[in-house]
């Protein structure tokens, strides 16, 4: 595909507002684009206005299945007046495309779509199946990848590339991510008679104090470093002259294989249970979602093949990296089928979710070429 046509597909994707909850427009665009090149794609609804999309090319009888995957949603734009360019105009200046999702991760999606189209148009014979998976909701709970995993779309995979922004470098490992609430229930009273009530805020602060040290004994991962944990949202009280009867907080934890999600949840429960032994304390824990950490061996065939291709494509050795975010891989790898996963895409990781999000178009083209060469090496 000519570079101009490839950029047009990227512009088309960025110009579609698919802020979390509005992914079906992107899924439909992909289905129609694939149809123009003889590729059948299936929409898999999650909710009104929200659909995943799955497509395959290659030998339908083969049990060698490789996946290119990514999410269709983006985070919100924030105040449009703060943007240099309209975030849905897909504006290009100085060989850089600006817009919400340009890095995270419509450049990755576009590169994967172009790879499918190039292979289909050239009638490349694949010794296996190439599967495209586009998911809803990765930015807020990964319900799309969870749904597709439960439906078996990862049960036959031999490998997967997630197209999140890595700047053309290769991410072979990332932390998990676990979000939770702690609710505190007290007894309301007039603030002139606090002894008549139970202050839900005061009791919730006991949890905040405990949280600061509750993971001090967690080991450090040689790949991912220490477990990271924070209380990030705190709400309580309704008016200044009343003892609050309710308060709640939210926390985020980045688990590591050496202190994984199950260990984190057990520790959270232990902390809440211990505090609830104190008079008047009534705390309840709710785990909102739980992504597990991912590590693929640096010497695995998938990592080595991708790095060799990318080194040659970029003309210099790319970096092997870890990131401390989480991806759809955490859901896909919950399948009973074990398979390697890497994260590889255009756009800088730090540019994801940012104001004036952008992607360098040369980097975009290079990454797409890597996708295509990798598929040919693995399946052709």
- Residue range 177-291 forms a domain whose CATH class is alpha beta
Tell me what pLDDT residue 228 has. 94
Tell me what pLDDT residue 20 has. 86
For the four alpha carbons of 25, 30, 35 and 39, in that order, the dihedral sign comes to negative
Which ranges of the chain have pLDDT less than 70?
none
Q: Tell me how crowded residue 205 is: count the other CB atoms within 10 A of its CB.
A: 16
pTM of the predicted model as reported, rounded to 2 decimal places: 0.89
CB 328 within 8 A of CB 163: no
Tell me what pLDDT residue 48 has. 96
List Cα–Cα distances, 118 to 131, 233, 245, 264, 320, in angstroms. 14, 46, 61, 45, 28
Tell me what pLDDT residue 324 has. 86
Q: How many residues does the chain have?
A: 380
Per-residue pLDDT tens for 155-177?
999 999 999 999 999 999 999 99
Query: Token digits for 299?
Result: 């010497």
CATH superfamily name and code, 3-174+293-379: Zn peptidases (3.40.630.10)
Q: Cis peptide before 105, with omega less than 30 degrees from 0?
A: yes
Query: Token digits for 71?
Result: 């999410």
The pairing of beta strand 65-71 with beta strand 129-135:
parallel
Q: Tell me how crowded residue 13 is: count the other CB atoms within 10 A of its CB.
A: 25
Tell me what pLDDT residue 326 has. 87
Q: Where are the domains of the chain?
A: 3-174+293-379, 177-291
What would you report as the CA-atom Rg of the chain, rounded to the nearest whole angstrom?
A: 23
């Amino acid at each position: 595909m000519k570079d101009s046509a490839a950029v047009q597909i990227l512009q088309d994707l960025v110009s579609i507002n698919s802020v979390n909850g509005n992914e079906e427009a992107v899924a439909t665009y992909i289905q129609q684009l694939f149809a123009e090149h003889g590729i059948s794609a299936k929409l898999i609804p999650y909710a009104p206005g929200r659909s995943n999309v799955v497509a395959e090319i290659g030998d339908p009888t083969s049990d060698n299945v490789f996946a290119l995957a990514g999410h269709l949603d983006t985070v919100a734009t924030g105040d449009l007046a703060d943007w240099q360019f309209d975030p849905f105009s897909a504006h290009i200046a100085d060989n850089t495309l600006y817009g919400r999702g340009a890095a995270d991760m419509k450049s990755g999606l576009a590169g994967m779509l172009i790879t499918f189209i190039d292979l289909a148009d050239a009638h490349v014979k694949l010794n296996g199946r190439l599967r495209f998976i586009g998911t809803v909701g990765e930015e807020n709970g990964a319900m799309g990848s969870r749904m597709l995993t439960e439906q078996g779309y990862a049960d036959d995979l031999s490998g997967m590339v997630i197209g999140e922004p890595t700047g053309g470098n290769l991410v072979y490992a990332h932390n998990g991510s676990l979000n939770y609430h702690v609710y505190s229930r007290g007894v309301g009273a007039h603030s002139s008679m606090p002894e008549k009530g139970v202050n839900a805020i005061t009791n919730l602060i006991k949890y905040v104090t405990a949280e600061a040290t509750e993971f001090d004994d967690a080991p450090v991962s040689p790949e991912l470093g220490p477990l990271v944990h924070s209380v990030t949202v705190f709400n309580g009280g309704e008016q200044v002259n009343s003892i609050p009867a309710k308060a709640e907080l939210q926390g985020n934890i980045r688990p590591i294989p050496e202190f994984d999600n199950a260990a984190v949840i057990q520790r959270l429960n232990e902390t809440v249970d211990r505090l609830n032994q104190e008079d008047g304390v009534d705390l309840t824990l709710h785990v909102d979602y739980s992504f597990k950490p991912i590590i693929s061996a640096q010497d695995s065939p998938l990592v080595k093949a991708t790095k060799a291709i990318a080194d040659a494509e970029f003309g210099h050795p790319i970096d092997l990296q870890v990131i401390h975010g989480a991806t759809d891989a955490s859901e896909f790898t919950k399948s009973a089928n074990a398979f390697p996963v890497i994260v590889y895409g255009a756009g800088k990781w730090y540019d994801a979710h940012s104001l004036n999000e952008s992607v360098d178009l040369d980097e975009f083209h290079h990454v797409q070429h890597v996708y295509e060469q990798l598929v040919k090496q693995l399946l052709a």
